[in-house]
Structure 1
Amino acid sequence: MSEEADLLSGSAITSFRLNGQFLAIAEELARPAGLTAAWWQVLGAVLREPLPVAGIARVMGITRQSVQRIADLLVEKGLAEYLPNPAHRRAKLLRPTSEGFAAVERIGPAHQKMAKRIADAVGDDWPACLAAMERLSQALDTLADE
């Protein structure tokens, strides 16, 4: 196998492992606030501005259908609401309710503690690690567009 093929395999396996690790941490942080990691992700995508389900899916890199199921659950639980979308009549915007904002806010202290623990474990290399992951993600986006 070529060096490039080894790098691709190693990058993929490491990213799969990281994804699992981050999801486990997210579940642990979200549970006391009455959320799941997936609910937290979707609410987090619309904290700054309401977005249509398709827009949330693009930001998160997952299917529109899976976001739609979570969005509908969040609305059913009173954690989010749908708003009319002036740009598209049928694609409503999702936005957190005050209860949704409060649930995400409750995660903040534990999130900060976990961030500190990770920063202490990784050290000064964390910004470079993030930059490398972002660069790899951008490269994969570029290849997908070709």
Structure 2
Amino acid sequence: MPDDYRLLIADVYELAGLSRRISERDAAEQHTTVARWHVLSAVSEEPLTVPAIGRRLGLVRQAVQRVVDDLVEAGRLRAEPNPAHRRSPLFACTPEGARVLDRLWAASEPRRRATLAAAGVTAAELAQARAVLRRVIDALGD
């Protein structure tokens, strides 16, 4: 089992690296950066603090703060009060940020569909894989 875990983690890193390189091209075609795309994606489900975004993306807080500042200035993110921590606001997509994110996902959707079809991966398998990864993430976070 320890080797299975180690290999899973190596595969996750490999997938993340490949996905990032492809996403960099997709983002450039939409006149943005992959860093901005990732931050918008991280807060698309729920508002998050800069440290929480960093943890979700595996990035240092300072790097995330620069991107968040750029997105706020561009009108794509907004700061909201954080009842749990007065000095660490929550960040959420603005309507413009949501539109940018939708355009990014829509532009990259045909490539993703083709990749999954070529791999023979179904939606149910993706959901199952994500559920397993979330359980491991949750266990590591405890």
TM-score w.r.t. the length of structure 2 is: 0.76
Map of 1:20 onto structure 2: 17
Q: Secondary structure at the match of 2:87?
A: coil
Q: Matches of 2:126 and 2:47 in 1, distance apart?
A: 30
The CA RMSD over aligned residues, in Å, is 2.7
- State the Cα distance separating 1:22 from its structure 2 match: 0.9
| Runs of 5+ consecutive residues of structure 1 not aligned to the other structure | none
Q: Matches of 2:48 and 2:121 in 1, distance apart?
A: 35
- State the Cα distance separating 1:84 from its structure 2 match: 2.7
Map of 1:56 onto structure 2: 53
- State the Cα distance separating 1:124 from its structure 2 match: 4.2
| Runs of 5+ consecutive residues of structure 2 not aligned to the other structure | none
Map of 1:32 onto structure 2: 29
Map of 2:112 onto structure 1: 115
Q: Matches of 1:58 and 1:79 in 2, distance apart?
A: 21
**Paired residues, what number?**
142
- State the Cα distance separating 1:30 from its structure 2 match: 1.7
More divergent stretch after superposition (38-47 vs 49-58): 49-58
Q: Quick check: which has more Rg, 1 or 2?
A: 1
Q: Matches of 1:17 and 1:142 in 2, distance apart?
A: 22
- State the Cα distance separating 1:31 from its structure 2 match: 1.7
Return closer, same or farther for 1:61/1:134 CA change in 2, 3 Å cut-off: farther
- State the Cα distance separating 1:134 from its structure 2 match: 4.2
The percentage of aligned residue pairs carrying the same residue is 35
Q: C-alpha offsets along residues 106-137 of structure 1, whole Å, 9 cap, x if unaligned?
A: 22332221221122112145633552464255
